Amino acid sequence: MSLGYKNVNFSELKKGGFIRQQGPDLFIMRLRSIGGHLTSKDLENIALLAKKYGRGEVHLTTRQGVEIPGVRLADYQELIAAIKRLQLLPGACGPRIRCIVSCPGQDVCPNGVVNTQEMARQVDQAFFGRDVPAKFKIAIAGCPNACTKPRENDVGLQGVVYPQLVADRCSLCGLCQSLCPGGAIKIVADRVTIDRQRCCGDGACIASCPTNAWVAERRGFVLYAGGKMGRQPRLGDRLLDFVPGEEVIPVINSVLQGFITRRQGNERLADTMARLGTGIFRKLISYTSRREVAAGGRD
């Protein structure tokens, strides 16, 4: 069956799953993962699709997606149907919220301090594919090592855990002082002290403490905003020092609203923030935390 351009649903194409490539009537089918996670069944199904509709090969995208190149326009509708049937997820391009990038997080990585995969699912569900003035990228890292480069994204989340000492369990072995990367922990006159300003929230003290004297006081995310790469790269600014997991979605939503309201033309969030200044942009974030609401705005 031959299908020409008139039979193609261009509104669906525009959402980004199907992108023109070099060569006549050849397309790339872009699929997304959520936080880089694909099951072995997904991989088998992608392999089958690549063999049947493409050139028997895939390209792994920088945003943890999988692209099948060499798809013929005539196969578009059949391929879209197959993708839906196999419960694979189409990607996005253009001025939209792109695939959510994430590291494996605490489920797998020894350094992970937050559940990044669950957060990626929530962020994907809330924002993926939403139309915005310019491309908008979100990345999640499970610890301050920041492997997924949150500061190179429009919004970057970086997991942190802030410790608290249960003093009567402490044996004063000094291990935490020796391995604290920020030099925040000091033992002075047989007393363990922590300089909160220098604590980077990587949880090394909690993970290593032989007597479990260091425990997690609060776990959440640092929020960076206004990062991008490309011709004029900019690292994102540390917009909020701590966002609890359950407040991440309203905060990102607030950043998006601030961006949409104050952007000029189709500039990226990085350009809006550079133009306005980070301090002014931060004031636009009208998000109210649940704790603030509970405290009647006095938190």
- Residue 116 CB, nearest approach to another protein (Å): 19
If one asks whether residue 173 binds another protein (CB under 8 A), the answer comes out as yes
- Residue 113 CB, nearest approach to another protein (Å): 12
- Residue 210 CB, nearest approach to another protein (Å): 4
C-alpha pair distances (Å), 18 with each of 9, 62, 74, 91, 153: 11, 17, 12, 8, 23
Query: Looking at beta carbons only, is 86 or 173 nearer to another protein?
Result: 173
**Segment lying near another protein (by CB under 8 A), choices 95-103, 169-177, 184-192, 248-256:** 169-177
Instruction: Characterize the bridge pairing of strands 89-90 and 59-60.
Output: unpaired
If one asks whether residue 174 binds another protein (CB under 8 A), the answer comes out as yes
Query: Looking at beta carbons only, is 9 or 178 nearer to another protein?
Result: 178
Query: Looking at beta carbons only, is 8 or 175 nearer to another protein?
Result: 175
The whole-angstrom separation of Cα 194 and Cα 199 is 8
If one asks whether residue 171 binds another protein (CB under 8 A), the answer comes out as yes
Residue 5, classed as helix, strand or coil, is: helix
Check: CB of residue 291 under 8 Å from CB of residue 220.
Answer: no
The whole-angstrom separation of Cα 265 and Cα 263 is 6
**What DSSP designation does 14 have?**
I
Contacts (CB under 8 A) with another protein, residues 72-111: 110
Question: Which residues have a Cβ under 8 Å from the Cβ of 274 and sit 6 or more positions away?
Answer: 226, 234
- Residue 202 CB, nearest approach to another protein (Å): 10
The whole-angstrom separation of Cα 262 and Cα 256 is 10
If one asks whether residue 253 binds another protein (CB under 8 A), the answer comes out as no
Residue with tokens 């993962």: 33
- Residue 209 CB, nearest approach to another protein (Å): 8
**Segment lying near another protein (by CB under 8 A), choices 41-49, 98-106, 204-212, 222-230:** 204-212
Check: CB of residue 204 under 8 Å from CB of residue 153.
Answer: no
Binder among 210, 230, 233, 277 for another protein (CB under 8 A): 210
Q: Which residues bind another protein (CB under 8 A)?
A: 110, 171, 173-175, 178-179, 204, 207-208, 210
